[in-house]
Structure 1
Amino acid sequence: MRLTFAALALFASLGFTPALAADAQPFITAKDVDLTRFLPAPPANDSVQTKAEIAELLTIQASRTPAMEAAARADAVENVWRFADVLGPKFNEATLPAFSAFFARVVETEGAVVDPAKDYWKRPRPHMLNKDVKPVVKLSTSGAWPSGHSTVGYLMATVLASMVPEQRDALFARAAAYAENRIIGGIHYRSDTVMGRTAGALIAQRLFLDADFQAGYGPARAELRAALGL
C-alpha cells in the first residue's frame, strides 16, 4: 500500500502510526483468548452429527450453481473489503489508509487466536473424511474447528457495526453469508461456522478492552465515517 505525504501527516496529527498490511501485527493472541477453554470439542469424525454434516455438504454440492461457486471463491479472501457491498463504493483501501492499516491488524488477530485452537483440535476437513466432497475453493488441511473465515467475518462485522451502527443488521447479514460460503465452497462443516461466530464474539469482546486496539480504533472510525459521509 502506497501512502501519500498528506496521509502520513494526517496519521501523525492523530497520533496513529499506520502499518503496512504485510507487516500488521495482531492486537491480541491465544494467550489473551484461549479458545480451547471456551469452546466445546468438535463432533467426533464417526459421529452422527459429522455424518449428517457431510451429507448436507454433498446435497449442497449437487445443487450449487456457477454463481454460488463464484461467490464462495470470492469470499475465500480474508479482508474487510468484502463488506463493500454493504458500505458502498467509497469503502475501499485507496480512500481509507488508516482504517485499512487498523483492520489489517484485526484480521491478523483472528489468526493469532484461532490457529492454535485449530491445531489443538485438528478436526479433519470434510474432503479429508469423504472423497466425494469436492471443494471449489482453495484446499486446506489445517484444522477445521473453528472456521477461521467465519470467525474473522463475524469479528470484522462486530467492529464495523460499532463504527457504523446505521448498517449493523446488514453487516451481520453479510458476515453470515461470508460464513455460509465456506459451507457452499465445501471446505467446512456447518458446525465449524457456528463455532466461528462464537469465536468472533469472544475475540471482539476482548479486543475492545485492549488499549492498543482502542488507540487505533478512534482514528479508523473517524476516517471511515468521514469517507461515508456520516
Structure 2
Amino acid sequence: MIKVPRFMCMIALTSAVMAGGLSQSSFAKTGNTEPKATYKFHSDPLLYLPPPPAAGSLQQAHDDQVFQTTRQLKGGPRWALATQDADTRLAAILNDYACAAGIKLEPGKLPLLAGVLKRALHTEYDDIGVTKNNWNRKRPFVGNDSPICTEKDREGLGKQGSYPSGHTTMGWTVALILAELMPDHAGSILQRGQIYGSSRIVCGAHWVSDVQAGYILASGEVAALHGDERFRHDLELAKKELDKARSSAGAPDDLQCKIEQAGR
C-alpha cells in the first residue's frame, strides 16, 4: 500500500468535523445519468488548496520517484485492486466499501443512502473541475509510455488536469459520509478510503500530491455540506435506513474481501 504522509491524512480527517476537469459529463459516462440534483453549500477549494509542486522541487522529485516505483506493481494484486477502484459508478464505489462496512451496500436496496451520496457528489463536481482547470497539471504518464491500469482511458485522461485527483475526492467523500453513518466501522471505512485514493497512484493516473489534494478537497466539501439542512436531514434518513438494513443486507462477497486484503 502506498503510504500517504500521516499529516495529510490528519488534515483531511480534521477538515471533515474535502474542459480539463472531472466534469459532470465525464461522470455521466461512467453510468451515473440521474438528474444532477445538488445541495446548497459547497466549499471554494481555490481558497485552501495549495498549488501542485513546482517543477524541480523536492516534492515533485518525490512524485516522480513514486510514479516510477509503482510501475513495478503492474500485474500484481495491488494493481488489480487499483484497476477495480477506477470504476466510479456509484454501485461500484459502494461495493468497494462493502468489506469495510461489513455488509453489502447496494444502491437499489439502500435508496436513501444512494440519494444522499449522489447529491453530495454532484454538488462537488464543479469544484473538482474548477481546481483541475485552474492548474491544468499534466498527468504522470503524459509524454511517456509508462503503463497505467486503465489503458483504454489513457487518451481521455491525458486531456484532463491531474490536480487534484477527482477519483480520490469522490472516494474520500463517500468514506467520510459512510464513516459518519456507521461510526462503529469508521476506522475500516476510512482505511478503505485511503486505499481508494492510493489506487490512483498505483494506477499511474495521478501523482502522490494529486491524491493528497483530493483528500483535502473532499474534506472541505463534506464539511461545507453539513451547513445544508437538507443534507443533514438526508443523512439522518440514510442512517436509519442503514441501521435497519444491517440485519438483512447480507455479508459482503468473501472473494471480493480477499482480493482487497491481498491488494493491501
TM-score tier (shorter): 0.7 to 0.9
RMSD: 2.0
2:66 and 2:116 mapped to 1: Cα distance?
Answer: 37
Q: Is the 8 A contact 1:163 1:221 kept in 2?
A: yes
Q: Is the 8 A contact 2:73 2:202 kept in 1?
A: no
Pick aligned residue for 1:174 from 192, 196, 201: 192
User: Which residue is equivalent to 2:167?
Assistant: 149
1:109 aligns with 2:127: no
Q: Match of 2:141, SS?
A: helix
Would the alpha carbon gap of residues 113 and 176 (structure 1) be closer, same or farther in structure 2, given more than 3 Å must change? same
Pick aligned residue for 2:97 from 58, 72, 83: 83
* Alignment length (residue pairs): 208
1:156-194 CA distance string (max 9 Å, x none): 111111110000100110001000100000000001111
Question: Which one is further off, 136-145 or 197-206?
Answer: 136-145
Q: Which amino acid aligns with 2:54?
A: A
Aligned-pair distance for 1:95? Answer: 1.4
1:147 and 1:28 mapped to 2: Cα distance?
Answer: 23
User: Which residue is equivalent to 2:257?
Assistant: none
Aligned-pair distance for 1:52? Answer: 3.0
Would the alpha carbon gap of residues 28 and 186 (structure 1) be closer, same or farther in structure 2, given more than 3 Å must change? farther
User: Which residue is equivalent to 2:39?
Assistant: 27
Where do 5+ consecutive residues of structure 1 fail to align?
A: 1-19
Is the radius of gyration larger for structure 1 or structure 2?
Answer: 1
Question: Which one is further off, 55-64 or 163-172?
Answer: 55-64
User: Which residue is equivalent to 2:111?
Assistant: 97
Q: Match of 1:196, SS?
A: helix
TM value normalised by structure 2:
0.72
User: Which residue is equivalent to 1:52?
Assistant: 62
1:8-61 CA distance string (max 9 Å, x none): xxxxxxxxxxxx9621323257xx411111111111244343233122211111
1:68 and 1:204 mapped to 2: Cα distance?
Answer: 28
Aligned-pair distance for 1:67? Answer: 2.4
Pick aligned residue for 1:134 from 135, 144, 147: 147
1:89-141 CA distance string (max 9 Å, x none): 4321231112112211122223222111111111111112x404321123312
Q: Is the 8 A contact 1:26 1:109 kept in 2?
A: yes
1:122 and 1:164 mapped to 2: Cα distance?
Answer: 36
The structure, 1 or 2, with the larger RCO (C-alpha pairs under 8 Å, 6+ apart) is: 2
1:63 and 1:216 mapped to 2: Cα distance?
Answer: 40
Q: Which amino acid aligns with 2:207?
A: Y
User: Which residue is equivalent to 2:256?
Assistant: none
Q: Match of 1:127, SS?
A: coil
TM value normalised by structure 1:
0.82
